[in-house]
Every structure is written in structure tokens, then in C-alpha cells.
């Protein structure tokens, strides 16, 4: 039964109705169901809680799910490549509900006002405590992308998040963007801060010289009389998707064979439940689950897919559950196993949206967050401009936030073309909301932020677009690397996702005129992965543009013409 | 030259010897020519020839390649990178029952099939895998 008493419930109801008073009756109805939302009865005897890709968001935020997440070849029409109504239908979620809002982009701005912000470590902490209360011994797993994504994480070199995770009670973690703090900083945190508190696990990070493991590959615990093992999987393509010079002595990769070896090793040591805490991305996890046997569940992240239920993958050794738990602190997953007779008999899984209006802030965590933010408040809260339209990033092609960044860097740098990376993180701004410096940092806070201006030939530009589209649309997930498609400003093109590598990009045009292969164009960009790139940090360039404009009109998205994607359940228009 | 073998790697078996320089094979500009040069016209696919390469190269300038042959009486292993200007990148001979296992670092200019070719009892066997070389960036 719920741990929330009658008084808390009434307070919550009052808060919810105030928040939505001017809108409609939905919050009242929804609040009435709040207790049911978080009343997850304990099942079985082995319990995991999982969040991933929080991207250093300590406070509640908005995060709009994508309306374009194309599934190509074997991924066509399957989770996680389902958007909007297709996703609701596949997972039996009623449209127009709180859950529908959490898992889709539908009616986003209106629903966001109705249901309030999501995530925030203080609210997450309350939910974690509540789940833990009924689940003795439960492990809290963090899938990584935790130490990057906000101004305060960047300025404190990840320290604010490291301490927040210790306070939250994280037991084990995986990794990706963590490495962009540099190998030395990662090792310093692992050795000094995490030692004896949080296990930093990665079976697939080795030294480039002799292939020695850099981190512990797995950790084992006894939980309610059952031996359980958690194996860590870092993002396999970190040195390709991010600057390799930041971790030059380490090599990554999927490393299926070593994963199998680790699974066999923990099984031999008596593990009855084996879970992989993965930062592969869901498509890679789904493939890995067909090739490696003996894993009960792969708790996944990286691709930021809020997938309501696990996907069961059959393999030679039985079956493996594959999950993906969204991003930005928006969700907490709870996985319960019933383990009897030395094996998993059954399971229950819930991906709980963290609605900050329904979960009172944990006092200790709220105080901690206030403390780390206090020295920076003036800078964080600077209002740069007001946005008339919805600003979001997530999706296979340009989001409106990316479009704003492109418009800004092209205008400030006087460039005819702009390129902006296809990151999946970055919070959402509602129409009419002020854009603060903190919001801008939510989109840009990386350790290689230099803005650039280059002369690039038409031929090279096509090559870049071909290369990156293959990283997204290669039919084999093991050849997919990194994030969404690079965001393109100024340049129009046609994209045929299921064409072969080198043939997906066509009809490149600049202001209606075909791009010339040998002609050089002025291209503004940022986040170059090559060492020694210099330039003004992109946030300063964009901040200048925003201060100057004051009001940001709704953006016109420069998205490619897509061929062959009509009817794809991962496509709901762009 | 893109095709140059950057480092011969660590030859694990002490009894392995580098092949004598096969000029025609190493200077061939296509895979067919390189295969012909080492005497292998149309090698047969073999599951007993294990080729370990990354799916995506972390650094195209030094792509780690491991080849292990479980084919009895293997006397040579060659490694080819199809799209390199000179595909044949390395060739190793094994004498006196040396364990046919090699490890090397190859340079790759672009996404390409990498082939291993083993010779055993006068016959040729092959295994291949695509290694992607990408501009990178855009990291999720």
C-alpha cells in the first residue's frame, strides 16, 4: 500500500489544482490517480531501480519526446522506433492521459502546462525512497550520462552530480559523456569520490596498449538470499562520437565476446540473476541480446527512449529483457524478479514518470541542490529572451532548439550554412517562456564548445551528411554510432534512409541552387571532435544573439525531404 | 601510402616468420590482384578462420586486427583491406607447427571490408568483416 498519508495527498491535490487552475479539470482528475501511479506493489525477491541519461538535470524540467524516430530495416515499426499514437497503441496507453503525455510529444505544450514539470533529483529521491521502502535490498542503478548536460555540472567538472548521486543512494553506474571530462578526471572521481559507495562498471573499456581492463567489469551482491550480478557496459563508440583525445589510452567497442565471458564468470560464481547496466543504446542492446546468452535483463539508455515495457528477446540460452528508461530524470524504472529454485521465475516492470507535482521534494536533496546552485544563481537566471514558440531538441532531424542555435551561429558568424550536432539531450521551453542562460547551457554544456567557421566544399559537405546519416540509418545497429542526424541550417537536402551508405543524401541546394561539388561554402558549426579546435564557446555566441533579438519567433525547421518514410510508425511529420 | 602496415603487431608464436617480400601481391591495386599475388584465386569461406576487427574504427590510422586460424596445418595468414589503394596489408608464414595467430594495426582511409586469408594444405580459406571509418562527432 501507499506510504503517502491523507494529509500529503490533500496537499498534493491542492498543489496540482493550483498549477493547472487556469487550464482545465484534468489535473484534478489526474491528481486523484497519483497514488495509483506510484503504488507499485512489491513483487518477488530481487529488485532493481534504474534511471539513465539524466544529463545533470537536478531540477524539474520539460522534455518533449520525439515525433521522428525512424526504424529502418529490422527496426521498422518496433519499439523504440514508435512515436505518438503508434507508441500509445503498441503499449495500450490511453490518449489524453498523464502517461500519454509522459511517453509522447502529443499536444506537448498544453499537456505540459496541465501536468507540470518532470524529474528533478529532489522529486526522484522521494520516489526512490518510496520504492526502496517496500523493497529491502533493492539496488539503484544509474545508466550514465549523469555528469554532463548542465551549466553547474560543467562548471564543477561533474562534482555536483557525483555528490547528488551519492546522496540519492546510487549503487552502480555505467558511463558515456562522463569521459568528456577527460580520462584523468574520470579516474579521480572513481578513485576518490565513488570508492566504496558507487561501483563504476564497464566491461568494455580497456587500455589501448595491452587491453587491460580500466574499470571493474561487474559487481555482485547478495539480495534477500539471492546472488545477483550487475555488469557494466559503457557507450561502445565514445572515442568516435566524442573527442578521442580526451581518453586517448582507452579503447571501447561492444565487445560481445568479453560480455559473454563476464556473464559466464558471474554465473559460475553463483549469480542467479544477471543484469547488464548498458549505455549501448536500445538498438545495439536488442542485437546484443540475440548474441549473448545468460543475461536476465539489459537495462539500457543512451538513445533516451522512454519504452513503457521491456522487449523480450529470445536467444540460444533462453530470453533476455531489454529496456530503455528515457532521459533527463523523467523516469524511474522498477524491475522486480521472482527468483526461486535457483532461477528467475517471473518479473514485473514499471517505467514510472517522475511528475514533480505529484512527488513532494525530498528535503535533504532539495537543500543540497540549493546549496550547489547558490553561487551561480545570477548567471543561471539571466533572462536572454522570450520564446514565442515551443523549443525542443529530440528527434532524428532538426528540433526547434537546434534551429535556433543554427540561426544564431549562422547570423553571428555570417555563414551561409550551419551544422549543429544531433545530441539527444537538452530540455524543452514552452511557448511564452523566458530563455535563461541556464536553458541555453542545457543545450550546449560540453567540454569542447568552440564555435567554428570553416570553408567547406560541396563535395565534403555531402560526404559529412552521408557519413552521419549512416551512423543513424545503417541497418546493422553495431554500425550505428552516436546520436541523431546532424542539424543542418541553410542547406536543403533529400534523405533516403533505407538507401545504401553513400547514396542517402541527394538534391543538395542552397537558396534553391544546386550545391557545387568543388565550390567552397562558409559553414558555421560547433562541437568539433578534433584536438586543438579553438573558438568562442557556442553558448556565448548564441547568448549574444538572444539578448539582441529579445523575442524569439517560432522557428521554421530546416528538415530534409524524406523519401520512403511515409507510413513509418516512427514518423509523425516534421 | 595508406596501405602501409603501420606495425607488424606482436607475433605470439615464436616460430612464426615474416614472409619474403611478395612485390606483386603487395603492390596490386585491387583485391583480385592481391589474392592472385599470394596464389589464392577464390578462397573458400571458413568459420574456422577467426577475424577480429572493430565494427567501427576508433582511429582509422591504427585499426587493430587479430586473426586466428583453427584450420589444421595453416601455413600462412594474409590480411587485406579492400578499399585501401594497395589492399594487401600483411602476410605471415608459419613454419614447424607454429600457432597461426597474428595481431596487427592497419591504416584504413575509408569504410571497407577487411579480409583474412589463410593457406592450409595448399588450399585457401577466407573470413571477412566490414570496418566502418567515420568522421565521428554528434555523440548522442
Render pLDDT for B65-114 as a digit per residue (tens, 0 to 9).
Answer: 999 999 999 999 999 999 999 999 999 999 888 899 999 999 998 999 99
In a domain, B117, yes or no: yes
| Residue B73 lies inside a defined structural domain of this protein | yes
Paired sense of beta strands A226-233 and A273-278, if any:
parallel
As a whole number of angstroms, the distance between CA A308 and CA A134 comes to 22
Measured CA to CA, the distance from residue A296 to residue A274 in angstroms comes to 5
Residue A241: phi, psi to the nearest 5? Answer: -75, -25
What one-character DSSP code corresponds to residue A192? Answer: I
The confidence score (pLDDT) of residue B134 equals 87
Taking every pair of Cα atoms in chain B, the longest distance, rounded to a whole number of angstroms, is 51
All residues at 6 or more sequence positions from A64 whose CB lies less than 8 Å from its CB, including other chains:
A105, A108, A112, A390, A392, A394, A428
Q: Low-confidence residues of chain A, pLDDT below 50?
A: 1-32
Q: Is the pLDDT of residue B5 over 70?
A: no
Residue A255 and residue A252: Cα distance in Å, rounded? 8
In-domain check, residue B140: no
Evaluate if residue B124 carries a pLDDT over 50.
yes
Q: Which residue of A has its CA nearest to B134?
A: A467
For range B16-45, the mean pLDDT: 85
Q: Give every strand in the sheet of A487-489, ordered side by side.
A: A451-457, A520-526, A417-420, A487-489
Q: What is the pLDDT of residue A34?
A: 66
Contacts of A9 (CB under 8 A, 6+ apart): A34, A35
Q: Is A442 exposed, middle or buried (0-12, 13-18, 19+ CB in 10 A)?
A: buried
CA distance A70 to A473: 8
pLDDT at B140: 57
- Could you tell me which chain A residue has the CA closest to the CA of B103? A210
Cα–Cα distance for residue pair A31/A25, rounded to 1 Å? 10
DSSP structural state of residue A64: P
CATH number of domain containing B125: 2.60.40.2470
Return the pLDDT at A439. 98
For chain A, domains (ranges, CATH) are: 1-39 (no CATH), 42-55+139-344+364-370 (3.60.21.10), 381-562 (3.90.780.10)
Give the structural domain span for B124.
5-131
Choose the mutation target among A144, A237, A424 for the interface with B, i.e. most B CBs under 10 Å.
A237
Count helices and strands in chain A by DSSP H and E runs: 19, 25
The closest CB to that of B111, out of A482, A501, A528, belongs to: A501
Distance from the A244 Cα atom to the nearest Cα atom in chain B, whole angstroms = 8
pTM for the model: 0.91
A496 within 8 A of A563, measured Cβ to Cβ: yes
Report chain B residues touching chain A, CB-CB < 8 A: 54-59, 64, 111, 130, 132, 134-140
Cell (9 digits) for A26 = 484534468
Cβ atoms of residues A95 and A102 within 8 Å: no
> E strands, A201-355, where?
206-207, 218-223, 226-233, 250-251, 273-278, 297-300, 311-315, 318-324, 331-340, 343-353
- What per-residue string of b and e applies to B69-79 under the rule 16 or more CB within 10 Å gives b? bebeebbbbbb
Which site among A205, A239, A240 would you substitute to test the B interface, given the most B Cβ atoms closer than 10 Å to its Cβ? Answer: A240
Which of B55, B135, B136 minimises the CB distance to A254? B55
d(CA A440, CA A172): 30
In a domain, B136, yes or no: no
Distance of alpha carbon A276 from alpha carbon A297, whole angstroms: 6
Whether residue A80 has a cis bond before it, omega within 30° of 0: yes
pLDDT digits (tens, 9 = 90+) for B23-33: 889 999 999 99
- Percentage helix, strand, coil for chain A under 3-state DSSP, each rounded to 5: 35, 25, 40
Per-residue pLDDT tens for A279-330?
Answer: 999 999 999 999 999 999 999 999 999 999 999 999 999 999 999 999 999 9
Closest residue in A to B57 (Cα–Cα) = A240
What pLDDT sits at residue A36? Answer: 84
Query: Does B30 fall in a domain?
Result: yes
- Report residue A41 as a C-alpha cell: 506493489
Q: What phi and psi, each to the nearest 5 degrees, are found at residue A368?
A: -60, -45
Chain B nearest CA to A53, separation (Å): 10
Judge whether A121 and A369 are in contact, CB under 8 Å. Answer: yes
- From chain A, the residues in CB contact with B58 under 8 A are 239-240, 244, 251-253
A423 → chain B, closest CA residue: B140
Rg, chain B, Cα only: 14
Tell me the chain A residues in contact with residue B139 when contact means C-beta distances shorter than 8 Å: 176-177, 235, 237-238, 240-242, 421, 423, 482-483, 529
Give the chain A residue nearest B129 (alpha carbons): A479
Q: How many domains does chain B have?
A: 1
Contact between chains at B135 and A470 (C-beta distance less than 8 A):
no
Q: Among A293, A184, A167, which Cα is nearest to A246's?
A: A184
Please classify residue B23 by burial: count the beta carbons closer than 10 Å to its beta carbon, then call 0-12 exposed, 13-18 middle and 19+ buried: exposed
**Is residue A158 left, alpha or beta, with left meaning phi > 0 and alpha meaning psi from -120 to 50?**
left
Q: Tell me the mean pLDDT in the region B1-25.
A: 49
Among B58, B113, B137, the residue to mutate for chain A (most A Cβ within 10 A): B137
Please state the ipTM of this predicted complex. Answer: 0.81
Closest partner residue to A483 among B58, B134, B139, by Cβ?
Answer: B139
Amino acid at each position: 500500500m501507499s506510504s503517502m498519508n491523507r494529509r500529503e495527498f490533500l496537499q498534493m491535490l491542492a498543489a496540482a489544482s493550483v498549477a493547472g487552475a487556469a487550464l482545465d479539470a484534468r489535473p484534478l482528475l489526474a491528481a486523484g490517480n497519483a497514488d495509483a501511479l506510484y503504488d507499485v506493489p512489491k513483487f518477488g525477491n530481487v529488485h532493481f531501480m534504474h534511471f539513465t541519461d539524466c544529463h545533470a538535470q537536478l531540477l524539474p524540467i520539460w522534455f518533449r519526446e520525439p515525433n521522428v524516430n525512424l526504424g529502418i530495416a529490422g527496426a521498422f515499426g518496433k519499439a523504440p522506433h514508435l512515436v505518438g499514437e503508434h507508441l500509445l497503441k503498441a503499449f495500450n496507453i490511453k490518449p489524453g492521459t498523464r502517461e500519454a503525455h509522459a511517453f509522447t510529444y502529443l499536444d506537448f505544450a498544453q499537456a505540459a502546462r496541465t501536468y507540470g514539470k518532470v524529474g528533478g533529483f529532489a522529486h526522484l529521491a522521494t520516489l526512490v525512497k518510496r520504492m526502496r521502502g517496500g523493497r529491502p535490498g533493492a539496488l539503484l542503478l544509474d545508466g550514465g550520462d549523469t555528469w554532463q548536460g548542465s551549466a553547474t555540472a560543467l562548471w564543477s567538472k561533474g562534482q555536483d552530480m557525483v555528490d547528488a548521486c551519492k546522496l540519492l543512494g546510487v549503487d552502480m553506474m555505467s558511463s558515456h559523456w562522463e569521459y568528456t571530462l577527460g580520462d584523468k578526471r574520470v579516474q579521480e572521481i572513481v578513485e576518490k569520490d565513488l570508492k566504496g559507495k558507487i561501483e563504476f562498471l564497464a566491461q568494455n573499456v580497456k587500455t589501448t596498449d595491452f587491453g587491460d581492463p580500466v574499470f571493474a567489469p561487474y559487481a555482485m551482491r547478495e539480495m534477500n538470499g539471492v546472488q545477483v550480478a550487475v555488469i557494466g557496459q559503457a557507450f561502445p563508440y565514445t572515442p568516435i562520437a566524442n573527442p578521442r583525445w580526451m581518453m586517448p589510452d582507452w579503447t571501447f567497442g561492444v565487445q560481445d565476446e568479453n560480455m559473454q565471458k563476464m556473464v559466464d564468470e558471474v554465473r559460475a560464481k553463483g549469480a542467479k540473476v544477471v543484469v547488464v547496466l548498458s549505455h549501448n543504446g536500445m538498438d545495439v542492446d536488442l542485437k546484443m541480446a540475440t548474441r549473448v546468452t545468460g543475461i536476465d535483463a539489459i537495462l539500457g539508455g543512451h538513445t533516451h527512449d522512454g519504452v513503457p515495457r521491456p522487449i523480450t528477446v529470445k536467444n540460444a540460452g533462453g530470453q533476455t529483457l531489454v529496456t530503455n528508461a528515457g532521459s533527463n530524470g523523467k523516469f524511474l524504472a522498477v524491475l522486480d524478479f521472482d527468483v526461486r529454485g535457483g532461477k528467475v521465475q517471473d518479473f514485473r516492470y514499471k517505467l514510472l514518470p517522475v511528475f514533480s507535482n505529484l512527488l513532494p521534494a525530498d528535503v535533504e536533496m532539495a537543500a543540497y541542490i540549493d546549496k550547489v546552485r547558490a553561487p551561480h544563481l545570477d548567471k543561471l537566471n539571466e533572462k536572454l529572451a522570450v520564446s514565442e514558440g515551443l523549443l525542443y531538441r529530440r528527434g532524428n532531424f532538426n528540433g526547434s532548439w537546434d534551429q535556433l542555435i543554427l540561426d544564431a551561429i549562422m547570423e553571428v558568424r555570417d555563414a551561409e550554412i550551419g551544422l549543429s550536432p544531433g545530441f539527444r539531450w537538452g530540455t524543452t521551453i514552452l511557448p511564452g517562456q523566458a530563455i535563461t542562460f541556464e536553458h541555453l547551457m542545457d543545450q550546449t554544456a560540453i567540454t569542447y564548445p568552440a564555435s567554428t567557421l570553416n570553408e567547406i566544399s560541396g563535395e565534403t559537405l555531402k560526404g559529412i551528411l552521408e557519413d552521419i546519416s549512416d551512423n543513424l540509418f545503417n541497418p546493422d545497429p553495431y554500425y550505428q554510432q552516436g546520436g541523431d542526424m546532424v542539424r543542418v541550417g541553410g542547406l536543403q537536402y533529400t534523405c533516403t534512409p533505407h538507401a545504401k551508405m553513400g547514396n542517402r543524401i541527394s538534391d543538395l541546394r542552397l537558396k534553391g541552387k544546386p550545391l557545387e561539388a568543388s565550390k567552397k561554402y562558409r559553414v558555421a558549426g560547433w562541437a568539433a571532435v578534433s584536438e586543438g579546435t579553438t573558438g568562442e564557446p557556442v553558448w556565448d555566441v548564441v547568448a549574444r544573439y538572444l539578448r539582441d533579438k529579445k523575442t524569439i519567433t517560432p522557428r521554421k525547421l530546416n528538415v530534409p525531404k524524406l523519401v520512403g518514410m511515409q507510413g513509418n510508425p516512427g514518423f509523425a511529420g516534421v | 601510402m595508406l596501405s602501409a602496415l603501420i606495425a607488424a603487431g606482436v607475433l605470439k608464436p615464436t616460430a612464426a616468420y615474416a614472409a619474403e617480400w611478395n612485390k606483386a601481391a603487395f603492390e596490386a591495386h585491387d583485391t583480385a590482384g592481391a589474392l592472385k599475388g599470394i596464389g589464392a584465386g577464390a578462397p573458400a569461406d571458413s568459420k574456422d578462420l577467426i577475424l577480429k576487427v572493430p565494427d567501427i574504427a576508433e582511429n582509422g590510422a591504427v585499426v587493430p586486427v587479430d586473426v586466428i586460424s583453427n584450420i589444421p596445418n595453416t601455413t600462412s595468414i594474409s590480411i587485406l583491406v579492400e578499399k585501401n589503394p594497395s589492399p594487401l596489408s600483411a602476410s605471415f608464414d608459419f613454419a614447424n607447427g607454429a600457432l597461426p595467430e597474428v595481431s596487427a594495426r592497419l591504416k584504413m582511409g575509408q569504410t571497407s571490408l577487411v579480409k583474412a586469408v589463410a593457406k592450409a594444405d595448399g588450399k585457401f580459406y577466407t573470413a571477412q568483416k566490414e570496418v566502418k571509418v567515420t568522421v565521428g562527432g554528434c555523440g548522442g
